[in-house]
Chain A
Amino acid sequence: MIRTLSYVALSGTLLFSSIAAATDETTQQYINTLTELGYPAPKANELVHIPPTMEDLENAKLHPELKRVIRRGYDLFTNTQQLRGENVFNNMNCSSCHMGEGRMPFSAPVWPAAVTLPNFRGKNDHVNNLEERIAGCFTYSMNGKPPEYGSDNMLAISAYHQWLAKGVAMYPEQPIYGRGFPAPDRPKELRYARGEAAFEENCSVCHGEDGEGLRVGNQTVFPAVWGDMSNNWGAGIVRVFTAAGFIKNNMPLGQPNSLSDQEAWDIAYYISNQERPQDPRYTGDVKDTLEKTQERFHKHSMYGQVRETDGHILGDHNNTGEKPFLKPDSVRPRTFE
C-alpha cells in the first residue's frame, strides 16, 4: 500500500528514471524508519523527497568549486555561531531548529524553500525569494542581521538549500510530506503550571531551569529557548502551535513523538509565556505593534498578551538582547512598482 503511495509521491521527479525501482525501495525504508519513530506515513498525494547527504555531495557530478561552496553553506548552517556579532546575536544555529542539518521531515526541512520560492508570503505581504526567506531566519530566529543579499555567505547558504532539493521539480503541485513543524491537534486547555512541570521534567536537563540552554566555549550545545540568547518575538516559533509542533516532532533530542500532545502543547505554552528580545517590527509601543502585526503574524503568539501568573504584558519592553539595533535594513516592503 505505502509502497504504491510512495511511488506515486516520487513520480513527479523519478518516473522515467531507470533507478526508480531501487529508489522506491530506499524511500520505503525511509518511510518505515519514520513511522517506527511515530511519524505519520505520507498521504497518497504527498511528495516524499530524501535530501542528499554531504557524503552524496562528495560523489556528485558537480563542479569542485560548487562543492566547496555547498560545503561552506553546510558549515554555516550547522555552525552559524561563526557569524556571531556580525549576523547572529543570540545562541542559535540554523540546525538548532532544523534538525538533521536541515534534512529531517517534521523538523521544517529547508529544501522546500528552494523549490517553492519565489512566492508570496503572508508574514511580510510580498513575494520573497530564497535569500529573503533565509534573511527572515537571521532577522527573527537568530535575532540578527542577515548576510547581504548576494554575499558569499548568503550564496553559500542558498546553495546548500538548493543542493538538498536536488531532483525535486520546481513549484511542485503536491503537498510536501513532513513540511514545517506540523502541530498535533490543540488540546482543549493549556496550562502554564503543567507546562512548567513538564518542562522541568523533560527539557531542563539540557535547556536549563531558566531556558538558557548550554554553551561550551563559544559554541552552543543546547540552544536557549527563551531569554536574551533565544529567538526574538518575531520568529515563527513564537507561535504556540509552531512551538508545539517542533516539540512534539523533535524533542527530547533522539526521542521524537515521545511526549503526549497535551505535554507538547503545555510546554510550548509555558515557553511562549516567557520573555525574549523585542520583535524587530516594534513601533515603540507593544499595543501599537500588536495591532499592526497581529492579523498577519501574532494571532497565534503570546506577544502583547497578559501572562496569567503575574499580569506581565509579554513583549512590553525595548530589550533587543545582544543586538545593538532593533531592525535590520533588510526588513522592508517590496512593491514591485
Chain B
Amino acid sequence: MKKIPIMLTVLGLATCSGFALAEADATRGAATAAVCMACHQADGSGMNIPGGESWPRLAGLDAAYISKQLHDYKSGERSSASMMPFVSMLDDQKIADVAAYYAGLPATKGKGSGSADEATLKRGQQLAERGDWSRYVVSCKSCHGPGNQGAGAVFPGIAGQHAGYIKTQLQAWKAGTRKNDTQDLMGSIARRLSDDDIHAVAAWLASQSASAN
C-alpha cells in the first residue's frame, strides 16, 4: 500500500491526464485481474515455458513498474501480440487497480534454472552481482538493486523471475524489439551480452528468490 502514492504520481506524469484517479484499489484490481489469470495465474506466478513465450511472474513486482508496462503496451511503446487484446480492456483506473493487486501478492518462485550447470550459474551470478567490465557489462544489481530485488519504480525486481521470460526480454532488447526502458539503459547492456551470457544470467536470476516488497 505504501507504494501507491508514488504510483499515482508516476501515472499522473505518464498520462498527463489532468484529472485525478481514484486511489488504486487492490480489491477492485483482483476482479479486473480475472482477464490476466489465464496466463499470469491466480497467484501471479506466471509460467515458465521453455522454448515458448514465458509469462512473467507479476506477484510482488512494484506497482508503478507494472502500471508503466501496461500503459506502454497500450501506447505501443512496448509490443506484445499476447498482451494487446487485454490491455485494450483496461482504462487508467483499472491499470492502477490491477497493478496494486499484483504488487500486493506474495512473490512466487522463479522457474527455468533447473537444467543449468554449475559453470553457467557461476557466470550468471558474476553478471548479476559484479558484471563483466572487460566488455563494459555492468552488474544487474547496479540498477536492479541489492539482491536484484528491484529499485524504485523504474528498475523491477528480477531475482526469482522466470528464466524463459528474462531470456526473451534480454533478447528483445538486444534485437531492438523492446525499447521502453529509460534512456536505453537496459538496451545498451543487452547488446553487449552474448547468447550464452543471456542464458546464464537468466538461469541464475531464476534460481534466486524474490522477496515480497
Residues of A within 8 A of B (CB): 30, 33, 37, 54-55, 99-101, 103-104, 202, 205-206, 214, 216-217, 219, 221-222, 252-256
Q: A205-B154, A205-B183, A221-B151 are in contact. Are A253 and B130 (CB under 8 A)?
A: no
Q: A54-B130, A103-B133 are in contact. Are A253 and B145 (CB under 8 A)?
A: no
Q: How far is the CA of A221 from the CA of B140 in the complex (A)?
A: 11
Within 8 Å by CB of A255, from B130, B133, B151, B188, lies: B188
What number of A-B contacts does a CB cutoff of 8 Å give?
55
| B184 contacts A by Cβ under 8 Å | yes
Question: Distance (Å) between the CB of B194 and the closest chain A CB?
Answer: 14
Additional A-B contacts beyond A222-B151, A256-B136 (16; CB < 8 A): A55-B126, A100-B131, A104-B133, A202-B183, A216-B145, A216-B150, A216-B151, A219-B146, A221-B145, A221-B146, A221-B151, A253-B185, A254-B188, A254-B189, A255-B185, A255-B188
Residues of B within 8 A of A101 (CB): 130, 133
The contact string, 1 if C-beta is below 8 Å from chain A, for chain B 188-208, is: 110000000000000000000
Residues of A within 8 A of B188 (CB): 254-255
Question: Distance (Å) between the CB of A28 and the closest chain B CB?
Answer: 13
Question: Distance (Å) between the CB of B131 and the closest chain A CB?
Answer: 8
Residues of A within 8 A of B150 (CB): 216
Residues of B within 8 A of A37 (CB): 136
Q: How far is the CA of A222 from the CA of B143 in the complex (A)?
A: 8
Q: How far is the CA of A219 from the CA of B131 in the complex (A)?
A: 18
| B15 contacts A by Cβ under 8 Å | no
| B134 contacts A by Cβ under 8 Å | yes
Q: A202-B183, A254-B189, A255-B184 are in contact. Are A30 and B134 (CB under 8 A)?
A: yes
Q: How far is the CA of A135 from the CA of B146 in the complex (A)?
A: 27
Within 8 Å by CB of A206, from B143, B149, B184, lies: B143
Residues of B within 8 A of A (CB): 126, 130-131, 133-136, 138, 142-143, 145-146, 149-152, 154-155, 182-185, 188-189
Q: How far is the CA of A68 from the CA of B9 in the complex (A)?
A: 47
Q: How far is the CA of A330 from the CA of B188 in the complex (A)?
A: 42
Residue picked from A103, A252, A256, most chain B C-beta under 10 Å: A252
Q: How far is the CA of A206 from the CA of B154 in the complex (A)?
A: 9
Q: How far is the CA of A74 from the CA of B133 in the complex (A)?
A: 15
Q: How far is the CA of A216 from the CA of B144 in the complex (A)?
A: 10
Residues of B within 8 A of A255 (CB): 183-185, 188
Residues of B within 8 A of A254 (CB): 136, 138, 185, 188-189
Residues of A within 8 A of B183 (CB): 202, 205, 252, 255
| Cβ-closest chain B residue relative to A252 | B183
Within 8 Å by CB of A33, from B135, B154, B155, B185, lies: B135
A-B contact pairs, 8 of them (CB 8 A): A100-B133, A101-B130, A104-B133, A216-B151, A219-B146, A221-B152, A254-B185, A254-B188
| Cβ-closest chain B residue relative to A103 | B133
Residues of A within 8 A of B138 (CB): 253-254
Residues of B within 8 A of A30 (CB): 134
| Cβ-closest chain A residue relative to B149 | A216
Q: How far is the CA of A37 from the CA of B151 in the complex (A)?
A: 27
Q: How far is the CA of A159 from the CA of B146 in the complex (A)?
A: 26
